[in-house]
């Protein structure tokens, strides 16, 4: 009777598994039977081939997983770079907008300051003109009141010249005022 080693192949989770089985078949003709050491060598060769196949499949699967992991890592890195770039752009936009807003506030404050100072300057000039006008008015008023009083004194002297003979009054009037109010 001859023993034949049969190799059965099956796949599980993407891994090919080989199983060896022996089948007893009656020998059609009497041939010399292989020695037990030849059978053991055949089984060992089959086991070696199965192990090599498993290692090759495991290596292929590991390479595939590594490639997928590298691809995923590249995608994640690309996404992280994009997010970082977007964040930097947003930060620059915020800083730029803040700078523009700060400059606008500075210009508004400067304008308000200039308006206030300019308004005060205009008010100051207006008050100075009023003071000058009042000084002119005061001078004119004093001049007119002096002229009026002088004319009244002349009229009074013309009507009553003896009223001017008050003792000591002539001396006071001779100092210049009497000359001004005297007959002209």
| Tens digits of residue pLDDT in 66-79 | 999 999 999 999 99
DSSP β-bridge partners for residue 8: 19
Question: What are the tens digits of pLDDT across the range 63-114?
Answer: 999 999 999 999 999 999 999 999 999 999 999 899 999 999 999 999 998 8
Residues 6+ apart with CB under 8 A from 178: 164, 170, 172
Beta-bridge mates of residue 21:
6
pLDDT in tens, 159-171: 877 755 555 555 5
Asked if 150 and 181 count as a contact pair (C-beta separation under 8 A), the reply is: yes
Q: What is the mean pLDDT of the chain?
A: 80
Quickly state the pLDDT bin for 144 (edges 50, 70, 90): very high
Q: Is the pLDDT at 125 greater than 80, yes or no?
A: yes
Burial letters 1-19, b for 16+ CB under 10 A, else e: eeeeeeeeeeeeeeeeeee
- For 22-62, write each residue's pLDDT tens digit: 555 555 555 556 567 888 898 999 999 999 999 999 999 99
Provide CB contacts within 8 A for 3, sequence distance 6+: 22, 23, 24, 39
**Which residues fall within 8 angstroms of residue 8, CB to CB, at 6 or more apart?**
18, 19, 20, 21
Give the pLDDT confidence score for residue 17 in this predicted structure: 58
Question: DSSP state, 32?
Answer: P
């Amino acid at each position: 009777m001859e023993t034949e080693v049969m190799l059965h192949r099956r796949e599980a989770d993407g891994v090919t598994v080989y199983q060896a089985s022996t089948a007893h078949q009656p020998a059609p003709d009497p041939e010399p039977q292989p020695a037990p050491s030849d059978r053991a060598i055949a089984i060992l060769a089959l086991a070696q081939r199965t192990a090599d196949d498993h290692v090759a499949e495991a290596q292929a699967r590991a390479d595939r997983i590594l490639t997928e992991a590298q691809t995923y890592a590249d995608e994640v890195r690309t996404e992280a770079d994009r997010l970082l770039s977007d964040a930097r752009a947003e930060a620059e936009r915020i800083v730029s907008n803040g700078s523009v807003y700060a400059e606008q506030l500075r210009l508004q404050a400067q304008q308000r300051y200039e308006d206030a100072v300019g308004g005060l300057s205009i008010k100051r000039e207006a008050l100075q003109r009023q003071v000058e006008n009042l000084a002119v008015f005061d001078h004119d008023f004093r001049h007119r009141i002096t002229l009026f009083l002088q004319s009244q004194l002349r009229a009074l002297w013309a009507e009553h010249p003896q009223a001017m003979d008050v003792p000591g009054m002539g001396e006071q009037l001779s100092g210049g005022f009497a000359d001004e109010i005297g007959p002209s």
